[in-house]
Chains A and B, each alone.
Chain A
């Protein structure tokens, strides 16, 4: 991306015409504003750490120095964040002077309002302690480093200005270790200073860039930061949604079963009894017989419909029994081998069931096979359900929504769906679902 503006000061320094861009000025601004930040952070931190500093500087016995040292450490650790947390946001914003890339995750939003959650979040997230370290390091290193840098700058500008100053007759002047009396004496230094003058912005930029890199490293939250938390939350909420959806299906099934289905059976039964009491061959007997036949048909249809919503046998007896029933309903000759220790979590059971149902439906519709095999096993905390047929193969998950929808459903509970279906067969659909066995079904 040669035409993109450089994202960082360091990258800009390497480009031609650097001195004509705004970058040198940004570097200078960064360094100057750093001094204000160091004063704002350093003074309170030094005050908090005073007992420790005094203990370090005193010449008392080690045992006597231990208590103030520990006290100082505790003060810095306990109250230091109160100083640095307000400054962290400012530092992250200031970083944009030398580095416009996104700074990464900062302080997390506390899970709820209130003082206590705020403190819990702030004192347990990495960025708080990294920032404290950063400000301590800054407070210690910046005065020393900047003093050295300022002396170098003073020497440089002094050398350049020396001949002019000496021409004014204010000699001799002291320039670091040098004593210069005449302009002629100062001239070589001035020439050297002039030659080195363009290096000054580069020096400042180097210091600013190093500091920016330090800030960038220290002032971001760890990999277990907000994004991770949000991802986990999204996954959880998706699972909750599917759970709710499942529960709703079961509820609809139960309501229909306990309501409409019961009434329909009762009605059909009454019609059946009425038939017995009517003289055979009479018009009334015929129409009641018709009504009875209709009602029986409706009973069958309603049962199929309700079964499609959520098979009762799955609710009552679990996956193994439901797979057996699935095999019975299939037009293919299906063998079932379900080696399961008992009931599994509801979501796992129904996901596995609907996966097997979809796979068997596909086998019956498209494979041309006349038999299929379903194998369900639980080992090592993973439920595996395999549906195999010896048909024509060529099943393609990308065509048709059945398999894709299935994969989504399986993914919600962190499972995997594998399909192997070379042209010419055989087809194998395999579902792997993580699952804790023998947990009482929930919901």
Chain B
């Protein structure tokens, strides 16, 4: 665990000028310290090396060729420093990218959100804080698409368990899930144990198993072939 400074230092990478400025303004408004706002992956790597931020927010597709430069940079940064919190922003749902990102490090302190999510200002900031606190946040829309794919190993889960797993994937704690589904904490705990058993996950510490459950979820779909 790193010591949290008073203000969270952020490096922001986004090629769209309007969104970059909007995000910088939003972050400043909520007390984040925006150390650098850049517009391509190379500048992102350089800025991270220079400013040692606590949080990186990056667009997945950036110049020069708009494939997945931002994502690859994010994965590289996570390999070098698994403790670095990274939130990737995507124009549309790309499940394989989400899986790539969540695979980096130990699957904690990462977020995968759709760009449109930033306009729900309060939710977006809450998601950033969750990631900084060691959580895993995946956009509800991504989760919804995953639920639409009843595939092994997820096929074994009941609809209620799907719902709970979706909430876990969004980074919620058991207590928050219980509040949302209007059930007791004990019931949620039972669902979680059942999910972990059904997904055949190893017995390690609970948070980590939760992340693995999310990853299993995200791998419910074979990754799309790379653009060749």
Give the CA-CA distance A216 to B118 in the complex, in Å.
Answer: 78
Q: Is the CB of B116 within 8 A of A265?
A: yes
B224 and A321 contacting across the interface, CB-CB below 8 Å: yes
Q: Which of A299, A317, A342 has the most CB of B within 10 A?
A: A317
Q: Does B115 contact A (CB under 8 A)?
A: yes
Contact of A299 among B18, B66, B119, B226 (CB under 8 A): B119
Tell me which of B19-27, B152-160, B166-174 binds A. Answer: B19-27
Assembly CA distance A316 to B225 (angstroms): 12
A328 adjacent to B145 (CB under 8 Å): yes
> Is the pair B225, A325 in contact by a Cβ cutoff of 8 Å?
no
CB–CB A269/B22 < 8 A: yes
Q: Mark A292-333, 1 if CB is under 8 A from B, else 0.
A: 100110011001000000001100111011001100100001
A321 touches B18 (CB 8 A): no
> Which A residue sits closest to B123, measured CB to CB?
A272
Indicate the size class of the contact surface on chain B: 20 to 34
Is A273 at the interface (CB under 8 A from chain B)?
Answer: yes
User: Is A268's CB under 8 angstroms from B119's CB?
Assistant: yes
- Which residues of chain B have C-beta atoms less than 8 A from A296's C-beta? 119-120
Instruction: Tell me if A262 counts as interface (CB < 8 A to partner B).
Output: yes
A266 proximity list for chain B (CB < 8 A): 18-19, 21-22
**Please, which residues of chain B bring their CB within 8 A of the CB of A365?**
none
Contact B22 A341 (CB under 8 A): no
Q: Does A270 contact B (CB under 8 A)?
A: yes
- Stretch from B47-55, B87-95, B101-109, B190-198 that touches the partner: B87-95
Given A275-B121, A341-B225, answer yes or no on A269-B94 (Cβ-Cβ < 8 Å). no
Question: Which residues of A sit under 8 angstroms from B226, Cβ to Cβ?
Answer: 342
B5 within 8 A of partner (CB)? no
- The answer for the CA separation of A292 and B118 in the assembled complex, in Å, is 12
A184 interfacial by beta-carbon distance below 8 Å = no
**Pair A269/B26 contact, Cβ less than 8 Å:** yes
Chain B residues with CB under 8 Å of A343's CB are 227-228
Interface centre among B115, B118, B145, B224 (most CB of A within 10 A): B224
Residue contact A265 to B120, C-beta cutoff 8 Å: no
Cα distance, A266 to B119, chains bound together (Å) = 8
Give the residues in chain B near A277, CB-CB below 8 Å.
29
B224→A320 contact, CB < 8 A: yes
Tell me which residues across on chain B come within 8 A of A328, comparing CB atoms.
Answer: 93, 145, 148
A191 at the interface (CB under 8 A from B): no
Given the contacts A265-B18, A316-B66, A341 and B29 also touching, CB distance less than 8 Å: no
Q: Is the CB of B228 within 8 A of A276?
A: no
- Candidates A272, A317, A340, A438; contact of B119 at CB < 8 Å: A272
With A262-B18, A328-B93 as contacts: A269 and B227 at CB distance below 8 Å = no
Residue of B nearest to A258 (CB): B16
Cross-chain contact A342 with B228 (CB below 8 angstroms): yes
Q: Give residues of chain B (36-59) contacting chain A, Cβ–Cβ below 8 Å.
A: none
* B80 CB–A CB distance under 8 Å: no
Q: Which chain B residues border A272 with CB–CB below 8 Å?
A: 26, 119-121
A225 to B115 Cα, complex, angstroms: 58
Instruction: Tell me whether A321 and B120 are in contact in the complex, defined as CB-CB below 8 angstroms, given that A265-B18, A273-B25, A342-B228 are known contacts.
Output: no
5 contacts between A and B (CB under 8 A): A265-B115, A265-B118, A269-B26, A325-B93, A328-B148
In the complex, besides A269-B118, A338-B224, 15 extra interface pairs with C-beta distance below 8 angstroms are A262-B18, A263-B18, A265-B19, A265-B116, A269-B26, A272-B120, A296-B119, A303-B116, A316-B61, A316-B66, A318-B224, A320-B225, A321-B94, A321-B224, A324-B221
